[in-house]
Amino acid sequence: MHSEESILKRLFPFRWQDLLVCVAILFCAATVCMILQSVSTSEGFASPIFVLAVLLISRLTNGYLFGLAASVVGVIAVNYTFTYPYGAIDFTLSGYPLTFLTFLMVSVVTSAMTTQVKQQERLRAENEKEKMRANLLRSVSHDIRTPLTSIVGSTSAILENPSISRAEQEDLLRDVRDEAQWLIRVVENLLSVTRIGENGQAQIAKKDEAAEEILGDAARKFRKRFPNVNITVEAPRELLLVPMDAILIEQVLVNLLENAVRHGETTTCVSLSVRRQGRLAKFSVRDNGRGIPRDQLPRLFDGTLKSSETSSGDGKRDMGLGLVVCLTIVRAHNGFMEAQNMEGGGAEFFFCLPLSEEEEQ
């Protein structure tokens, strides 16, 4: 019994907001028909106007309730007010019943199809969200488990082998430190994802930020972690303000810079740049490494890459979590992200964010 009630509520939900939308659209349709009736003697204009009204109501309201109700109200309004005999519904007239039933069926089918398409879009969005969540969980489980295993192994070797040399102890402790730093990065990524809304849209506070400063902060963090890799920063001379959450976008850039070193194998220098491209700000990270294998390009941002497929082969690092997080953050800023191999060797990861209204002018 309760399941049947829940199904009915899901298919025919009632909201006052939807009722107001329905009444407003029907009122507008009736007004337009009255205006046309006052300037024309024809009768064929009312039906398509009310069919359009039913279509809009079905698209802008939830469930089937108001779309079907608008179908019935529209049929009665057209046949009672805007079709001869005016002010009456007479099924004895030749062709009148067929016209009445045809318009009713067209309205009902239009309402049902529009509502069904809208529900399919909602289900598709939910499936994409579940897919993203599953990919994140899969990546997290691997990225956290493997470093922890390494930390446990290194500390156990130090504690259980008193005869181990000082140099070997330092090497093992250095490995522990590196793995702990990697775990911190994973947690930072996860915290970034929690700042993104459940619907994939931004629950973030965007402010106009100077793009050059964001690049500088990201480059400084990168230099501390990879002092032996040369990094160049390029920014336009004029001030480029981009609406963003500075912390999140900085993390995207840091993730991309670290990926360039870890997966480029031969990377010795990276380039970090931003430039204006129409109404967008294009952020780019380029490296002189080995590039991206062609078979991995289509799957870079879906979190399905496994560590066994990456070049390192050490089971410690993969591109899944970092790039999934980067894409999620960029999409939350209404932007997009892509990757490509460069002709002279190396790879480029770039993303574009919309500029503020002031920058668009």
pLDDT at 8: 60
Average pLDDT over residues 150-162: 88
Paired sense of beta strands 269-277 and 230-234, if any = parallel
Please report, for the chain, the start and end positions of each structural domain, with discontinuous segments joined by +.
Answer: 2-126, 200-360
Its pTM stands at 0.55
pLDDT at 272: 95
Residue 260 CA to residue 182 CA, distance in Å, equals 15
Judged against a pLDDT cut of 70, whether residue 317 lies above it is answered with no
* DSSP sequence for 187-242: HHHHHHHHTB-TTSSB-S--EEEEHHHHHHHHHHHHHHH-TTSEEEEE--SS--EE
Class (C level, CATH) for 200-360: alpha beta
Judged against a pLDDT cut of 50, whether residue 312 lies above it is answered with no
Q: What is the pLDDT of residues 62-105, one digit of tens each?
A: 777 777 777 777 777 777 777 666 666 655 655 556 666 776 67
